[in-house]
Amino acid sequence: MAHGGVVVAAGHSLAGFDEAKSGIDAGIRYATHIFNGMPAMHHREPALTGAVLADERVVIGLINDGIHVHPALVKLLWQLLWDGRLNLVSDAIAALGKEPGTYRLGERTVTVTGETCRLSDGTLAGSILSLDKAVRNLISFTGCSLSQALRTITATPAMVLGIENTKGQIAPGFDADLVLLSTDLFVEMVIVDGSPVYRAS
């Protein structure tokens, strides 16, 4: 069912194509983590995935670590959604930034190996992706420009949240919440309300 602009699954069942279309018509405007936890899209049954991709009213969230979604599919998504419909997300858990190894996080044990974080059965346990890495990946996977990539984590999510008049761009009257990147697109400084709160060591 639709609730607050998101899809709520009942039990373990997810909406099919027709149900998803009804939800979109009722006001759903955002799809979380495209392809992940969704039924496979088939040419005769587009499923939930096909419904949200085909409808221009829906913004799509993508975990762009190259693991949750293959880089070739990321490129296809970009070709379809480049004009303001793609939102890069990290889905990062508390293992982000940790050295490779095994950690107890809450009630679960996770193993960090370079680019992934997995449960003991091999299932992905969220991600260890930072947003600056997601931006670098998008440029690498698709050949898009820096300004296009930055839009997916600034103006687009601001629009989804309805705060595009105060956040999402650098302009007079907008909040002075900024992230300064190095020339190779790593975070150098974070500024909140005009004051630095983080500097890279």
Tell me: the pLDDT tens digits for 39-86?
889 999 999 999 999 999 999 999 999 999 999 999 999 999 999 999
> Would you say residue 120 lies in a domain?
yes
Q: Which residues pair with 46 in a beta bridge?
A: none
162-178 pLDDT per residue, tens: 999 999 999 999 999 99
Cα 75 versus chain centre, distance = 15
**Catalytic one of 55, 83, 91, 193:** 91
**Structural domain harbouring 122:** 92-128
Q: Does 9 map to a domain? A: no
97 lies in some domain: yes
* 4: confidence class by pLDDT, cuts 50, 70, 90: very low
6 has pLDDT over 80: no
Number of domains in the chain: 1
**Residue 100, in any domain of the structure:** yes
Quick check: is 183 in a domain? no
Residue 117 in any domain: the answer is yes
Using an 8 Å Cβ cutoff, are 61 and 30 in contact? yes
| 121 inside domain | yes
> Residue 192 falls within a domain, yes or no?
no
Contact between 31 and 60 (Cβ < 8 Å): yes
91 is an active site residue: yes
